[in-house]
Structure 1
């Protein structure tokens, strides 16, 4: 009953993070201590800020599912030390061994911690595109992490997933159905979600953002992301959503800060193009409805420029 009340409170009044808080868990290299979102599903919420030395690069969510026959981790983490710290937290919760790690995509904060999990002999699974992305750019991600967090990246190496999949990777563990799914193009190559149908919970990865502005990369096709959302993510009708960034919440919240933001920005840029606006002015289209989000200052103008470059040729 206690967990049900907490879950309902979570949905009704989502907690808000702040990028002004450098570290919420000084006793650990993790930015925050994992908490139980719903029974058996935990998440250590990363900073809603760019990766820094102070947050040790933990600016995404590191989640795990505890079953009676083992633990499944979602995200390798941004370093060997972050993965090791998460494992210590898992051991404080359960005696069950970690049997499987999913990488939500090929970015450094999802895969650099694979080096720790590989040392533990744990199976590591990712989408084929994410694995290729990390194989091609993992060295660059590692060097950036070493420059940023210095000794906190010690022991971190590039370790590739041990298994890959194209559409879905489904496992039943301790009576819990766990479905890693590739729903289609979204934020970055090989983004996946982890869906728990019996619990109506989705670990959304970078399909969904909350409390911070999403970044649009050169390879982020915003029209495709909206299509994937509408055709495959929204129909999950999840009750609980653990986004890639920001506190766990519900579908309404992540829709507002992800899909609806993409639709809004594309409409602003579309109007700018219709008025023969150029790239220099596109950076400054009105994004004030989203100015309350963390990382707005760092990302808003970049996002506008990249959407302009995409839509100019659509």
Structure 2
């Protein structure tokens, strides 16, 4: 079992931040990255994104950009929300190692996972994604790109929305240097093609948007919350990861991400279920009691929207 790095202990201590992330200034003003990469366990690094919506101030770095220094090259998880973020991450990698980046893995088809792809492909790096994530990006790339340009402004320069260079359907095992990774789609969860990167030898799960920490997850029209809970309980949790780098929020452990992700989904579904049993309408469903999670980041932006989406999902279950 790998030694515990003090930074990971600090992350766990930050599980309940005193201030919402929107009130915290950029942590790395010298870079478009929101935070400078930190080593979570030996040779596994992540640049932690803002637990807030994408803004000009965070340049779209509101998810975790992770990389693994394998000894025979570097594997990057998430291309970044634009080419400038991708380059900024690459610059940080070069400060840490002279090993070349050999592979980028997109955690899903969202902009902050894929819009930086063109930077990496222009470096000759292969980009891997789940086939459903690739289809999602292909369908909505124009819309996603325009949205990014609106908030990122000059930070969008140099970005050309391109998909992955290859895809997988269920699971792909990658051995590079001292690491063997299992790149997986464990089942339906947050968005089409959600991808998890599991490193069994280290007990490390790079969870993508299967797991959130320090903030509540957004629930989209194509999010199946009952499926997400089932995938978690039948496929994700049984892997019993020691360390988790969530899609959003500080690296931590399984207990924390379960509370902040599945705990939230079960709480919201319970409240909406009670509302439905009492004959409640959609108009009133937006205001079901979610106060137990009001201290989490993005609560103000997402809570009412999430309640409406869950009502629409549960109304016909």
Same fold, TM exceeding 0.5? yes
| Structure 1 residue ranges without an equivalent (≥5) | none
> Is contact 1:11–1:250 with CA below 8 Å preserved after alignment?
no
CA distance in 2, matches of 1:3, 1:87: 26
Q: For residues 112-157 of structure 1, what are the alpha-carbon distances to aligned partners after superposition, in whole Å with 9 as ceiling and x for unaligned? A: 0001001001010000000000111111111111111111010101
TM-superposed deviation, 1:20: 1.2
CA distance in 2, matches of 1:66, 1:145: 29
**What is the match of residue 222 of structure 1?**
225
Residue 193 and residue 118 in structure 1: after superposition, are their counterparts in 2 closer, same or farther (change >3 A)?
A: same
**What is the match of residue 132 of structure 2?**
129
Q: For residues 2-37 of structure 1, what are the alpha-carbon distances to aligned partners after superposition, in whole Å with 9 as ceiling and x for unaligned? A: 963516624752454722124110000101100000
Matches within 5 A, 1:79-158: 79-158=82-161
| Structure 2 residue ranges without an equivalent (≥5) | none
CA distance in 2, matches of 1:162, 1:123: 6
Deviates more, 1:16-25 or 1:26-35: 16-25
TM-superposed deviation, 1:175: 2.2
CA distance in 2, matches of 1:140, 1:190: 18
Answering whether residue 199 of structure 2 is matched by residue 211 of structure 1, we say: no
CA distance in 1, matches of 2:236, 2:305: 26
Residue 300 and residue 261 in structure 1: after superposition, are their counterparts in 2 closer, same or farther (change >3 A)?
A: same
**What is the match of residue 13 of structure 1?**
13
Q: For residues 217-264 of structure 1, what are the alpha-carbon distances to aligned partners after superposition, in whole Å with 9 as ceiling and x for unaligned? A: 000010000000001110110000000000000000000010111111
Equivalent position SS for 2:21: coil
Equivalent position SS for 1:141: helix
CA distance in 2, matches of 1:123, 1:29: 24
Matches within 5 A, 1:294-313: 294-313=297-316
**What is the match of residue 194 of structure 2?**
191
1:76 to 74, 79, 101: 79
Q: How many pairs were matched up? A: 314
CA distance in 1, matches of 2:78, 2:208: 9
**RMSD (Å) for aligned C-alpha atoms:** 1.5
1:23 to 20, 26, 39: 26
Residue 26 and residue 313 in structure 1: after superposition, are their counterparts in 2 closer, same or farther (change >3 A)?
A: same
**What is the match of residue 164 of structure 1?**
167
Q: For residues 263-313 of structure 1, what are the alpha-carbon distances to aligned partners after superposition, in whole Å with 9 as ceiling and x for unaligned? A: 111111111000000011100000000000011001000000110011000
> Is contact 2:188–2:231 with CA below 8 Å preserved after alignment?
yes
CA distance in 2, matches of 1:128, 1:96: 28
CA distance in 2, matches of 1:5, 1:78: 28
> Is contact 1:118–1:159 with CA below 8 Å preserved after alignment?
no
Answering whether residue 277 of structure 2 is matched by residue 262 of structure 1, we say: no
**What is the match of residue 4 of structure 2?**
4
Deviates more, 1:10-19 or 1:53-62: 10-19
> Normalized against structure 2, the TM-score is what?
0.96
Structure 1: 4+ residue segments shifted above 2 A: 2-5, 7-19
